[in-house]
Amino acid sequence: MKALRIGRLSAVAVVAAGALALSACGSDNTAGTTNTGSASSGPKVTGTLTGTGSSAQSSAIDAWKQGFTQANPGVTVQYSPDGSGAGRKTFISGASQFAGTDAAMKTDELESAKAVCGPDGALDIPVYISPIAVTFNVSGVTDLNLTADTIAKIFRGTITNWNDPAIAADNSGAKLPDLKITPVHRSDDSGTTQNFTEYLAAAAPSVWTDKGAQTWPASLPGENAKGTSGVVKTVTDTPGAFAYADDSAVTGTLGKAKVKVGDKFVALSADGAAKAVALSKPVDGRAANDLAINLDRKTTDSSAYPIVLVSYHVVCTTYKDQATVDLVKAWETYVVSADGQKNAAAAAKSAPLSSDLAAKAKTAIDSIKVKS
């Protein structure tokens, strides 16, 4: 994964950044009221925007920062990829203007956000769609077919060696070594973990008996690492390692599994991830402009790759002043624009938002206003 040009912010530094001196030109005309697919649309804005959260978004954030600040040279965007859980907590505390998260806000989090965001609370806006790779480090092997049950058994520790008959049965001709499997998982609260365990719970329910969660089950074997980059480094450094990670960070030296969907084994792809999102439905009971998605993990449509995350930016429905409103709206408008999504796809191998989802995101962004 590309390293962020802005270093990680400590909690103290993030809080300090809350005392922002934001300003904007043309605040009578709110920035980003039309989506022309360009960071230069709408009035120019200035100031410092602070976000914290998803490490899976890091490469995309870098691309968005570059495009947005080129068009708005008076803006600084600070983003600390401390994980989705940390991002939501920082946002709810009021120390950041947006959170990046690979799992939508929970009901209790939306309620807590009202203290900072006003009575209408916060919104989940989809900004980044990416397949989650099931990746491994086995010399001479770059491509394997794995069922959901087999993946779940490896992570639960009931399949412990790469030449296990369950793996061999779906990989005729593969040279599987007599090598111990070392499962690797995230140590931090992670939206990637949430999405991956949701997949296992839905697709392999007889094996994966835990519910989907941000925190990996503590009783399971294996090694852990912090953040997407930490997981990928551990797998790269450990012969026999096996892990899940956002595809943007998985290097060409590691293998990636095809997963069984219906009666076929499906390779990871941005198109497959986008198809999985298209087959899914909105989360019930959310506000009109909250775009949280209930992903269909059990699809049998072999054009879809179901181990996918939809990563969100969480924003307030209202901010304290027009300058902050203008800055947040201008930034988010660029992120969901055609240019923003194209640049993220080039940098992070993500799938661009569909035109329908992008239009709904723009409507949600346009609804942000100043606290009355």
For residue range 5-38, list pLDDT tens digits in order: 333 333 333 333 333 333 343 333 333 333 334 5
Looking at residue 345, what is its pLDDT? 95
Dihedral sign of CA atoms 153, 351, 287, 101 in order: positive
Residue 251 has a pLDDT of 85
Q: What are phi and psi of 165, to 5 degrees?
A: -55, -30
CB 123 within 8 A of CB 134: no
Q: What is the mean pLDDT of each run of 10 residues along the chain (372 residues)?
A: 37 37 36 43 84 94 97 97 94 98 94 97 97 96 96 98 97 95 95 95 97 95 95 98 95 94 96 93 94 94 96 98 97 98 94 94 98 92
pLDDT, tens digit (0-9, with 9 covering 90-100), for 149-181:
999 999 999 999 999 999 999 999 999 999 999
What mean pLDDT is reported for the chain? 89
pTM: 0.79
| C-alpha distances out from residue 137 to 169, 181, 233, 346, Å | 20, 9, 11, 25
Q: Which residues, other chains included, contact 183 with Cβ-Cβ below 8 Å and sequence gap of 6+? A: 154, 155, 157, 220, 221, 222, 223, 241, 242, 243
pLDDT of 43 reads 66
Structure-block tokens of residue 164: 């296990």
> What pLDDT is attached to residue 28?
32
Mode of pairing for the β-strands spanning 75-80 and 122-136: unpaired
**Residue-level pLDDT at 252:** 83
